[in-house]
Structure 1
Amino acid sequence: MADMHSDAPKGEIEEVVYLGVPIARLGTHAAAAHIAARRPGLPFAYVVTPNAAHFTRLIRLRDRRFRDAVSHAWLRLLDGHVPHMLARRLFGLDLPLAPGSDVTAVLLGEHMKPDDAVTVIGGGNGVREALMARFGLTRVAQHEPPMGFIEQPAAVEACVDFVLAHPARYVFLVTGAPQSEYLALRILERGGAVGTGLCVGSALNFATGRTPRAPQWVRNAGLEWAYRLMRNPLGHARRVFVDSLPIFRIAIEARLKPAAFGMADPRKDRP
């Protein structure tokens, strides 16, 4: 996967190929600082946070559109305790975890200034007001696309038009995966936009307290998926059992045939 962007802050970010995806070796705070260091006004570039469901879509569903979106991202951060655990135990990879929700929380709480321009696509009614009230932001613009917008060309272009009409330092694309990633790529393809896009799912609702998040000890134990499943079994069951569970088989296949996933064979490092 080629990284097309050269507008990153000075200093190369090391990447490690994991399940066919180059992942930046950045933890939560380092990732937030790296994003915040990107100068305002630079051409649009975006961040994705591959998790178990993302890897399933890339490898099992062979979603070329999604692969294009991931490959053109400026920064790819590892999200999800299960992929993180598998990377360490099956491949011996020292890949820091940088969940999109955590990176967003650090950006909002430690790096953003009140007058930083922020554009939000999606997020639901009230997220703009919640961001302004919780973090003291004064320049927040929001566009809420209709359900199923990503398959409606006019609705997609309306989102792109909004981003172009509201230049921002940070562009939060929170319409869910893979819609946010598809949209980020479309904004990049159109050209003319500025700022850093962040495809971070429910991160803004977590950060503003509109959606309760698992207690810290639950997150540290890698059980946030179980907490969310318990709170919303109907809405979260597919994500856990259909979209994410195949990561185990994918990782085992990659362990047996690492070259097929662009990875080094960990067995060759044994004495």
Structure 2
Amino acid sequence: MNPINILGINVNTYNKQEVLAKLVFFLTSDKQHYLATPNPEMILEATSRDEELFYILNKADLSLPDGMGLKIAAWFLGSSISRITGADLTKDILALAEKNNQKVAVLNWGNGLSSAEDISQALANQYPGLKFIAQDIARKVIGQDDIIEVVKKFQPTIIFVALGAPWQEKFIFHNLSKLSSIKIAIGVGGVFDFLTKKIKRAPKILRAIGLEWLWRLAKQPWRWRRIYRATIVFPAKFFLWRFIYPFKYRPNVVCLLYQTEQGRGGEIIYKILIVERADEPGHWQLPQGGRDGEDLLTAGQRELAEEINSSKFKPVVALDKLHVYEFGEKISKFGVKAKLARGYKGQKQGLFIAEFFGGDEDIKINHWEHRNWQWVNDSELVSQVHPLRRQATKIFLNKFKQIVADK
């Protein structure tokens, strides 16, 4: 069954029975499986602030919508989806584990409402036949090798990570391969607070009509910002993505980072940085990204710093409105078609030129975005980038040559 796409995030449309069948299959499979339960707030975070989270969510083996906002969004896309909450899914998985004699590990945020001891008591009372361990951990993606060793020694087939988004998703992504016994990994946020009765779930009638958020607001008023984003910001952004952006071009900045070296004859040789896309081996291009409402110079500095994780460059010039193009079927973001990931018809690009004064060791590309990088001579730039990028790259290179000639 094909997933639907909401703001660039793929979401499965399985009903509860189909999900349970998938879980049984996952437990008998030789592979590891990551389950995601995206909600409106998580999707907003992934699409506006956290590209790594965007990448991870779209790598999920099963992505189940948690939130009435996603159900309504799917309706506007012509699809009907079953809302499967993280709380309900967790109970289903625990019951399945108990029935099939599967070991379970729970990694719990140590500063949350429920402690590992609270969770252990709740599981022992509610699932007396379940074999499990529960451990309190910090909100750290990597560097918790002692916890990893404890889990490895226990050899569970199912792991719940209750750190809250995006920490739990990133913890699973970076550590799952170290835990070879795990067949199912899922981030569950504060779900275990319901099992420990630290928090009371909304009445079924409120859950059924999509007003669970109102119950949470009444019980936890300090969550109002999160609820506002889920109930106001998400619908507004979805409306723009679905009905407005498809007719507009996304403002984009291309970053041309260069360094110089002296040739054998004393001439200046310009080296330009290009990057290879993580989702398409062999697709080389100049670094680029959205402007996010910023002026071109500000956006260029931010985007370049994010792309190479270094600030060792000096801005030279920013040139607006140099190239416009429409998204094609082959242009994507982390495997998601650009029209879906961005929502826009295409892009209108400006150019940010900067000179690099660091060393190669200072350049650290993001694993979810690029797989490699290299310096190329300006004379070879056009031939080295992907054919889809060559027309625009010619324009940017000509502007670069004009700028350095005038220096």
TM range (shorter): 0.7 to 0.9
Instruction: Answer yes or no: is the 8 Å Cα contact 1:45–1:73 preserved in 2.
Output: yes
Structure showing greater radius of gyration is 2
Distance 2:51 2:197 in 1: 35
Q: Secondary structure at the match of 2:137?
A: coil
SS of structure 2 residue aligned to 1:246: helix
Residues 159 and 71 of structure 1: CA distance in aligned 2, closer, same or farther (over 3 Å): farther
Equivalent residue, structure 2, for 1:59: 47
- Percent identical across equivalent pairs? 21
Residues 225-267 of structure 1 show CA distances to partners (whole Å, capped at 9, x for unaligned) of 1101110111x222212466321122112212357325999xx
Question: 176-185 vs 22-31, which deviates more?
Answer: 22-31
2:198 corresponds to 1:215? no
Confirm or deny that 1:228 pairs with 2:216: yes
> How far, CA to CA, are the matches of 1:177 and 1:247 in structure 2?
16
Letter in 2 for 1:137: G
Count of aligned positions? 246
Q: 1:22 maps to which residue?
A: 10
Residue 114 of structure 1: CA displacement? 7.0
Alignment partners' CA distance in 2, 1:37 and 1:29: 13
Return the alpha-carbon distance in structure 1 between the equivalents of residues 38 and 173 of structure 2: 15
Do 1:115 and 1:138's aligned partners in 2 also have CA atoms closer than 8 Å?
Answer: yes
- CA distance in structure 1 between the partners assigned to 2:96 and 2:159 by the alignment: 17
**Alignment partner for residue 93 of structure 1, among 79, 96, 113?**
79
Match of 1:141 among 133, 139, 162: 133
Q: What is the distance in 2 between the residues matched to 1:199 and 1:42?
A: 21
**Matched residue, 1:124:** 115
**Residues 201-229 of structure 1: CA distance to partner in whole angstroms, max 9, x if unpaired?**
22233245442101100100101111011
Task: Output the CA distance in 2 between the equivalents of 1:250 and 1:219.
Answer: 23
Distance of aligned partners of 1:40 and 1:118 in 2 relative to their CA distance in 1, 3 Å threshold: farther
2:232 counterpart (245, 252, 259): 245
Aligned-residue offset at 1:181: 0.3
Q: Deviations over 1:88-140 (max 9, x none)?
A: 1x222222211111112233346632732000000523102211211113411
Q: Give the TM-score taking structure 1 as reference length.
A: 0.80
SS in structure 1 of the partner of residue 143 of structure 2? helix
Q: Where does residue 143 of structure 2 map in the other structure? A: 154
Name structure 1 gaps, 5 residues minimum.
Answer: 1-12, 266-271
Q: Which amino acid aligns with 2:140?
A: I
Aligned 8 A contact 1:72 1:185 in 2: no
Amino acid at match of 1:166: F
* Structure-2 residue corresponding to 1:254: 241
Q: Structure 1 residues 28, 210: CA separation in 2 closer, same or farther (over 3 Å shift)?
A: farther
Question: Displacement, 1:41?
Answer: 7.2
Q: 3-state DSSP class of the match of 1:143?
A: strand
Question: Does the CA-based 8 Å contact 1:26-1:97 persist in structure 2?
Answer: no
The question of 1:198 aligning with 2:277 is answered no
| Structure 2 counterpart of 1:84, one-letter code | K
Deviation at 1:42, TM superposition (A): 3.5
Structure 1 vs Structure 2 CA RMSD: 2.6
Residue 115, structure 1, aligned to residue 101, structure 2: yes
Q: Is the 8 A contact 1:104 1:207 kept in 2?
A: no
Which letter does structure 1 place at the counterpart of 2:202? A
Task: Decide which structure has greater strand share.
Answer: 2
Matched, 1:82 2:161: no
* Unmatched tracts of structure 2, length 5 or more: 109-113, 247-337, 345-407
Alignment check: 8 A CA contact 2:105 2:160 kept = yes
CA shift, 1:200, in A, is 1.6
C-alpha distance in 2 between matches for 1:87 and 1:263:
17
Please give the secondary structure, in 2, of the residue aligned with 1:72.
Answer: coil
Question: Higher relative CO (CA 8 A, sep ≥ 6), structure 1 or 2?
Answer: 1
* Higher normalized helix content (fraction of residues): 1
Measure how far apart 1:29 and its partner are: 3.9
Distance 1:28 1:206 in 2: 20
